[in-house]
């Protein structure tokens, strides 16, 4: 289990994380999302003892990272796939990590097979592609068979087959009872992978919810077609909807349910030729939740 309690971190005048509290439960994949500059990487670095908080605390299995006797046996992490020595062979990188954490040497070929790098383990890391480096970083995180895992943008550099593979890997790790925290900008991947969702913006918590509830809480998006589209657009906007023109007589509406749109149009004497609720995506939920927290437009 990962616990973040009242975490606050500043870099000079910049407040990177602001009184942030959440937990990552065993047996779940928890998606950790937010706009660029929201504090995700700072939070993950603080969990792993790489950044010292100005206030608050982080714990893994009830203890700060610095108090873990054999860290790789208790938590595995991939924050930066480029943070390896290019002159080392992939297998030697893992052997060194295993030796430094008193892990059995037999674990190295096991994780190499798991991530699909057995055939290139003898090559220098400097010759690896970004996707291969990502797989090597994942192998390092799994080396100690830990109950807690943190991955920062693990699909970077992976091809479609690799993305499908890591989706299944994350699900299987959670199914084994591990706590898995994954940051990503690919909402479609988290929608298919994550059980829980932590959303932050400008260092503060915006939402702490299940993916299922996040997708079902909103009214979603409704496609409306009307020969009086301009009048209907103004009416729905005045009622609190967010309305955009989809071309011709079509409108895309969020913030109002289909029955509410139908009632408003009927009361105003406006004709509606189509009223079609659309399936809400996690990307749409994310954009709606973080609308006021985006720093770079």
Secondary structure (3-state) at 46: helix
Inform me whether the pLDDT recorded for 223 exceeds 80. Answer: yes
Q: Domain coordinates of the chain in residue numbers? A: 2-210, 219-279
| Predicted confidence band of residue 295 (pLDDT cuts 50, 70, 90) | low
CA angle 152, 154, 160 (to 5 degrees): 155
According to the CATH classification, is domain 2-210 in 3.40.50.1010? no
For the stretch 192-222, pLDDT in tens is 899 999 999 999 999 999 988 888 765 578 8
Closest residue by Cα to residue 218 from 292, 291, 281, 294: 281
Q: Specify the CATH number for 219-279; select among 3.30.70, 3.40.630, 1.10.760, 3.40.50.
A: 3.30.70
First to last CA, the chain: 35
pLDDT for 219: 54
Report the mean per-residue pLDDT for the chain.
91
For the stretch 58-105, pLDDT in tens is 999 999 999 998 899 999 999 988 888 999 999 999 999 999 889 999
pTM above 0.85, yes or no: no
For the stretch 26-69, pLDDT in tens is 999 999 999 988 999 999 999 999 999 999 999 999 999 999 98
């Amino acid at each position: 289990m990962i616990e973040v309690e009242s975490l606050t971190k500043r870099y000079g005048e910049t407040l990177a994380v602001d009184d942030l509290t959440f937990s990552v439960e065993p047996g779940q994949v928890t998606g950790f999302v937010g706009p660029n500059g929201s504090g995700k990487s700072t939070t993950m670095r603080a969990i792993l003892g790489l950044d010292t908080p100005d206030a608050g605390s982080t714990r893994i299995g009830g203890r700060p990272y610095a108090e873990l006797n054999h860290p790789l046996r208790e938590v595995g992490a991939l924050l930066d796939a480029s943070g390896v020595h290019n002159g080392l062979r992939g297998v030697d990188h893992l052997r060194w990590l295993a030796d430094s954490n008193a892990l059995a040497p037999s674990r190295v070929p096991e994780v190499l097979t798991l991530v699909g790098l057995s055939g290139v383990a003898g090559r220098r890391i400097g010759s690896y592609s970004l996707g291969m480096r990502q797989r090597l970083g994942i192998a390092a995180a799994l080396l100690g068979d830990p109950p807690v895992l943190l991955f920062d943008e693990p699909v970077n550099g992976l091809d479609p087959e690799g993305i499908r593979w890591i989706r299944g890997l994350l699900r299987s790790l959670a199914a084994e009872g591990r706590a898995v925290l994954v940051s990503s900008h690919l909402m479609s991947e988290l929608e298919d992978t994550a059980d829980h969702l932590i959303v932050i913006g400008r260092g503060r918590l915006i939402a702490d919810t299940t993916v299922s509830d996040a997708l079902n809480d909103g009214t979603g998006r409704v496609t409306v077609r009307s020969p009086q589209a301009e009048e209907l657009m103004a009416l729905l906007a005045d009622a609190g909807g967010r309305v955009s023109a989809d071309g011709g007589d079509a409108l895309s509406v969020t913030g109002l349910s289909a029955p509410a749109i139908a009632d408003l149009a009927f009361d105003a004497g406006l004709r509606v030729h189509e009223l079609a609720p659309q399936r809400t995506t996690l990307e749409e939920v994310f954009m709606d939740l973080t609308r006021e927290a985006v720093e770079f437009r």
